[in-house]
Structures are given as structure tokens and as C-alpha cells.
Amino acid sequence: MGRIVLKDIRKTYGAVDVLKGIDLEVAEGELVVFVGPSGCGKSTLLRMIAGLDRPTTGTIEIDGVDVTARGAADRGLAMVFQSYALYPHMTVRANMAFGLQNTKMAKAEIDARIAEAARMLEIEPLLDRRPGQLSGGQRQRVAIGRAIVRRPTAFLLDEPLSNLDAELRVSMRAELSALHDRLGATMIHVTHDQVEAMTMADRIVVLRAGKVEQVDTPLGLYNRPANLFVAGFIGAPGMNLWAGRAGASGFTLDGGQVLPVAAQGATTLGLRPQHLRLDPAGPLVAQVTLVEALGAESVIHADLAGGQKLLAVLPGQPDLARGASVRFGFDPGHAHLFGADGLRAAA
């Protein structure tokens, strides 16, 4: 249970097309992450699935049933909000019980479900506190607990980690993934943080300006981005994308440097910063403008001839001074090639 199918979902506010025809299938038990920049429509799409907003056209099916016209309560879904949306005047226990009481469930059953969820999320000592007396991480757990007790067909998570500090976000990320494994439920998670998407998702849906740019596994997106947007969006720091032209001897950058890459028809060559290495015989010559030493690795900012920027992540703490001219090499197999239309060129 928990298969969700979106067919040509469109949403228009006045003259603005927020969603421009989304088709997607989320398999039962899958953890799918919607990722994209602000305003791409990911939260709007999640709200449509939740039933909090209606699509202008298109259909939403859950387990084969068209639920497009159904209200939020009749879809069997549970949502965890960015703000957690806990009722501030109720205790944690009352927050978790509230939705179940609406269904006239027996008190013993409600208590049993709360106890089970509280044990799972390790929030038992917090049950009689109010949200105002909890830390951000604890509120987050309570919000998840409130969703769990309903035993929904699928969980919808709207940027649930964005209000947490960096350290807590990392641990909650792992906990959410573990929870997904334990519950085996379908989850749709919205985030603008691509690291969150990469670490948690079974599949990632990359959205931009109301359209799906690519749907794939995290490593599929990383290794074979379908277009320039995905190439630039996935991976941190972002992929180097250099303009140039393909020729018989390889790919010639706009600055004149020739890279030994077979690149028929390509106009942009992409290379991840992690795939560059210092190489005295390398084909890329660049002038260092900034070195960010992070300890275990260093991020090198440099200018190529012709003004294009180069970003490299090198292991350790290489002795590079600002202004130094450095040669970089790479494995041609790591190069990503894109045509004038922005799409991935055939290798």
C-alpha cells in the first residue's frame, strides 16, 4: 500500500503556471525526495498530493484510486510540516492523540499507538510536556510521531529538517532514513538541500520552474545528469561547466585549451571539482585565486585562460599560493558533455 501516481499535474495561479505538467510514479515503500531551488513548485506539488491544494488539471492516484477530488482527510496520508505545526496549547500526548480522536478510535487503542510511537522515537519522557518546552529536534520527533500514530498510506514531509541546526540535521537525516527502513512506508520528502536528498532518497525528483528535470537514484543523478541544470544542482560544490566546442582533437575550451575528450556535438563540458587532480602534465592550466583549506580537503578556486572559472576539491592540504599557475588533470571518463540544447550529449 502507498503507490502514488501523478498524471499531468498542472497548477495555475492567475497568469502564473506554477506546475507545468508533472508525471510521476512513486512505488510502494519508496522514499522519494523532491528537490529544487526556491519557487520550483516542490512544496506546491506536495500540498497537491496531501489534498491541501487542488491541481488545476491532472489526476492524483493513491493505490490505483483517483483521489484528486478528495479532501486531505480522505486520502489516508500524514504530513510533517516545516514548522512542525504542533498545537502549542496541547501536551505532546494530546498532539499525537488529536487526529485519532477525530476518528472516534477507542482510548485504549490511541494510548497503545502513542506508546508505540513514543518508544520508537524515544520521546516517552516528553509526552506530558508542551511543544514550547521542547528543543527543535524534540519537536521534530513529536511531529513525526503525530504522523506515525495515524498509520498512514504514505508520509509527506515538507522540509522537516530545515529549522534544525547543521549538526542536528545530520543526525535527524540518519534517523529519518532508519525510520523509513523500519516502517517500510512510502515517504515523499521535500527539501532544497541536495545533500539531504542525496543521503536519504531511494529516488530523487529534481524540479525547476514547475517541471521535472530528472528522476533518478541519487548516484544516477550524480553520475549521469540529464541536463545542465541537474549537473549544476546536484553535487557540492557544483560541477564545473565550461563552454567550448567539439573538434577532432578533443574539446576546445573558449580560452583555447584543448581537453582530450571525445565530444561530438557538445558545447559544454562538465567536470566535478572532486574529479580534478594536480598533474604537472595535465591539460588544464589555471591561475589560483583562492584556497579554502578545510583540513581533510581543500577547495581551490582558479581562473582558466579565457576567464572561465575552475573549482577543484583536492585531498589534504596542497601547498598552493594565490596567483600560482597550476596544471590540473582528470580522467576523461569523468567528463560530462552537454549539447547546445542543454541536454546530455551522447557519449
Partner 1 sequence: MAQVGAWVGAVITAPLRGFARLLDVPLRVWQRLAGQNGMAAFFLLPNMAIFGIFVLFPLGLNIAYSLTSGGALFLADRNFAGLGQYQRLLTCADYTNLLSCQEDQFWTALGNTALFVVVQVTALIVLATATALILNRELRARSFWRAVFFFPVLLSPVVVGLIWRWILDRNGVLNAGLVAVGLDPVNWLLDRNFAFAAAVGVTIWAHLGFFALILLAGLQAIPRDLYEAAEMDGTRPARVFWRITLPLLMPNMLVVIVLALIRAVQVFDEAFVLTGGGPGTATLFLTQYIYEVGFASLLKNPGLAAAASILMGGVLVVLTLLQLALGRRNERKAKLK
Containing 28, the helix (H) or strand (E) segment is none
Give the separation between CA 47 and CA 283, rounded to whole angstroms. Answer: 49
Give the separation between CA 218 and CA 196, rounded to whole angstroms. Answer: 10
Containing 168, the helix (H) or strand (E) segment is helix 166-183
Query: Which of these, 265, 307, 317, lies nearest to 286 by C-alpha position?
Result: 307
Nearer to partner 1, 82 or 199 (CB): 82
**Subset of residues 123 to 142 that bind partner 1, contact rule: CB under 8 A:** 130, 132-133
For position 88 contacting partner 1 by CB under 8 A, the verdict is yes
Give the separation between CA 265 and CA 307, rounded to whole angstroms. Answer: 23
Stretch that binds partner 1, among 22-30, 81-89, 240-248, 265-273 (CB under 8 A): 81-89
**Subset of residues 144 to 203 that bind partner 1, contact rule: CB under 8 A:** 146, 150
For position 78 contacting partner 1 by CB under 8 A, the verdict is yes
For position 14 contacting partner 1 by CB under 8 A, the verdict is no
C-alpha cell at 38: 526556491
For position 260 contacting partner 1 by CB under 8 A, the verdict is no
Ramachandran bin of 75, using left for φ above 0, alpha for ψ from -120 to 50, beta for the remaining angles: alpha
C-alpha cell at 122: 524515544
Nearer to partner 1, 131 or 250 (CB): 131
Stretch that binds partner 1, among 2-10, 13-21, 87-95, 302-310 (CB under 8 A): 87-95
* Omega cis (within 30) before 237: yes
Q: Compute the least distance from the CB of residue 310 to partner 1, in Å.
A: 44
**Subset of residues 39 to 68 that bind partner 1, contact rule: CB under 8 A:** 50-52
Among 1, 54, 83, 292, interactor with partner 1 by CB under 8 A: 83
Q: Compute the least distance from the CB of residue 78 to partner 1, in Å.
A: 7
Among 5, 85, 170, 241, interactor with partner 1 by CB under 8 A: 85
Nearer to partner 1, 48 or 269 (CB): 48
| Structural contact between residues 259 and 327, judged by C-beta atoms closer than 8 angstroms | no
For position 72 contacting partner 1 by CB under 8 A, the verdict is yes
DSSP letters, 132-162, are GGS-HHHHHHHHHHHHHTT--SEEEEESTTT
**Which residues of this protein are in contact with partner 1, per CB under 8 A?**
50-52, 71-74, 77-79, 81-83, 85, 87-89, 98-99, 102-103, 130, 132-133, 146, 150
